Amino acid sequence: MRRSTLVVGLGVAAVVVGGAVSASAAPAAAPAATAATQSTVLRYDIAFRPFQENFVDVGTPGPGIGDMLVFQDRILDHGRQVGVQGGACTITALLAGGHFQTHCVGTVSLHAGQIAFQGLVTDAPDKHLAVVGGTGRYRDAGGELSVLELGNDVGTLTVRLTVHSGR
């Protein structure tokens, strides 16, 4: 189906080291270090585990505050499994029309390492979460992870990583 792609760009970013935020009128001086910034975009297909196998109903029947979605999905490149994503989303609010908001924490595990993500999303098909770290090749990663649910338990995963080396 969808091929994973790697888009790499190199730039220079100034990183403030040891600086403090001051409320005074005088600007605070802070030493700066230069670090290389590498951007990478990963794109994969996802085979989702069916919703009913993920839903943990802890109260009255149906989605409610505190209920969870515990997921373990297959990450695919041209139909071949290259990793998994797993995590949990806790329902934090019930929205109009039977929809809900969740706080999600999860990890994408690929051959080169893991990418940790979290964020506040709804049950809409398009979800955007923060990349909060990683391991291996993704050790110094930040950025954004997007999931688009296409129906029939399939979707796409796009991870826009920014890796700062030389920290």
- Supply the CATH number for residue 104's domain: 2.40.480.10
Domain count, the chain: 1
Q: Name the residue range of residue 96's domain.
A: 45-159
Q: What pLDDT score does 35 carry? A: 62
Distance CA 116, CA 110 (A): 11
Q: Say how far apart CA 130 and CA 128 lie, in whole Å.
A: 7
Q: Is residue 149 part of a domain?
A: yes
22: pLDDT confidence band, cut at 50, 70 and 90?
A: very low
pLDDT above 60: residue 18 = no
pLDDT at 14: 26
* Residue 129 pLDDT class (50, 70, 90 cuts): very high
114 located within any domain? yes
Examine residue 7 and state whether it is found in any structural domain, yes or no. Answer: no
Task: Classify residue 66: in a domain, yes or no.
Answer: yes
> Would 11 be classed as within a structural domain?
no
Q: Can you tell me the distance from the alpha carbon of 80 to that of 160, in angstroms, rounded to the nearest whole number?
A: 21
Distance separating the N- and C-terminal Cα atoms of the chain: 37
- Check residue 37 and give its pLDDT: 80
- 132 pLDDT more than 80: yes
